[in-house]
Amino acid sequence: MILSRNEILKALKSGRLRIAPFLQANVGPASVDLRLGNTFRLLKPSRKPIIVSNNATYPRTFSDLISVGGSGLKLLSKQLVLGTTLERLTLSDKLVGWIQGRSRFARMGLSVHVSSSFIQPGSDNVQVLEIVNNSPSSLVLIPGTSICQVIFEETKGSAAYEGVFKQQLLP
């Protein structure tokens, strides 16, 4: 079941869900807005192909980690960057989350996740966003902007993610 505003607030009060920093104003009828952090991973173009296989490594070897100020990051048309949310989410073993873009930005051509919108139960991390500019124009990403929302659901039974990204803090 998807958690409504009241259930989200109850989950926060009981500790089944933690959001830090938390702004109650970001809680909507059935989701919580998450803000864009200031850390990004810029993918570097390469003439060498990147092998996509089960042995593939995280793109640290073909990207640069940067932090930006209040003027933001200029995202060129068709460019992909990895960004993070300002908020760190901690989910109990009975909650999962789904990251969704916000329609106001989607209508500008901005996608905030390519394909990995699912947040596993037991996660304790900032959310890494696969941000793509699908617009024919450049877009400027401003840290602190409520760029996406997360929808929470309860699991049937308990489960806990123990993978490599469980406590990830950087893109």
Q: What is the pLDDT of residues 12-44, one digit of tens each?
A: 999 999 999 999 999 999 999 999 999 999 988
Mean pLDDT across 35-64: 83
Please report whether residue 125 resides in a domain: yes
Q: Which of the residues 130, 153, 154, 162 is marked catalytic?
A: 130
Residue 32 lies in a domain: yes
CATH number of the domain enclosing 122: 2.70.40.10
Number of domains in the chain: 1
Asked if the structure places residue 160 within a domain, the reply is no
Give the contacts of 116 (CB within 8 A, at least 6 positions apart): 128, 130
153 given a catalytic annotation:
no
- On whether residue 102 sits in a domain, the answer given is yes
92 within a domain of the structure (yes/no):
yes
In a domain? residue 73: yes
pLDDT at 165: 61
What domain range is 107 assigned to?
Answer: 5-43+60-154
Give 53's pLDDT tier (boundaries 50, 70, 90). Answer: confident
Q: 146 near 33, Cβ under 8 Å? A: yes
